[in-house]
Amino acid sequence: MLDWSQITTVLLDMDGTILDLHFDNQFWLEHMPKKISEKQKIDLEQAKNQLISHYHQVAGTIDWYCLDYWAEQTKLPILTLKRELQHLIQLRTDADEFLTALKTSGREVILVTNAHPDSLALKIERTNLDKYFDVLYSTHEFGVTKESQLLWQRLQSKQPFKLENTLFVDDSLPILQSAKNFGIKHLLAITNPDSKKADNIITDFPAINDYRVLTKAILATPCQR
């Protein structure tokens, strides 16, 4: 599936790719509507429909991922509310072995997440995921999301990587397509971002539901950089 002899840099998404997306789905699709329902004294289904409609309006933009934006829009303390569910924040069960193998193999491992810096900080606090990475980036630092070609340009300018020697892993098809359009050669999709939901069917990109199938090949092909 992947030619590890050609891969020296690995760019990884966070939510759904390294961390179980169950936390985020529960927060945005269940916890937030409940809080909106309580605050506005409206029916829970009405609150859900209201929020989902708003989500669609800003999907893929920096606002969608911005805790400050949602705090302003909802008049709710978003980070405080996230902490109410923080026990759900966890690494994917296959992530530790995969990330450890990447680090052992000598490859450059970089986190590139659309998550707000405060959300990233909370998840580092809960999982210590930063220990696996050479550097971690929130796209808020660049002012645009991974859906935009500008992000890749700005990221490559700050953190140079060779397109032909880079692997990018994500659970979002639009984001994978954006990376492909930029010219990143090696792409991998995750079919099971949320451990509580069925796998997605993905045919547009190479796709897996368990990183452990890659471990042997990664370690058998160490990288000199």
Of all helices (H) and strands (E), which one includes residue 42? Answer: none
130-166, pLDDT tens digit by residue?
999 999 999 999 999 999 999 999 999 999 999 999 9
pLDDT digits (tens, 9 = 90+) for 82-105: 999 999 999 999 999 999 999 999
Which helix (DSSP H) or strand (DSSP E) does residue 88 occupy? none
Q: Give the global pTM.
A: 0.96
pLDDT in tens, 157-191: 999 999 999 999 999 999 999 999 999 999 999 99
CA distances from 163 to 6, 9, 11, 181, 225 (A): 11, 9, 11, 11, 15
**Domains of the chain by start residue, with CATH:** 4-20+89-220 (3.40.50.1000), 23-87 (no CATH)
Residue/partner pairs of 123-129 with CB below 8 Å, 24 or more apart? 123/14, 123/19, 123/89, 126/86, 126/89, 126/90, 127/19, 127/89, 127/90, 127/91, 129/14, 129/18, 129/19, 129/91
CA distance 60 to 144: 9
DSSP 15: B
Residue 224 has pLDDT above 90, yes or no: no
| Residue 158, H or E segment | helix 149-158
Q: Please write the tens of the pLDDT for every residue from 44-62.
A: 999 999 999 999 999 999 9
Report the alpha-carbon distance of residue 33 to residue 53 in Å, rounded.
Answer: 12
The whole-chain average pLDDT of the chain stands at 97
Residue 1: pLDDT band (50, 70, 90) is: confident
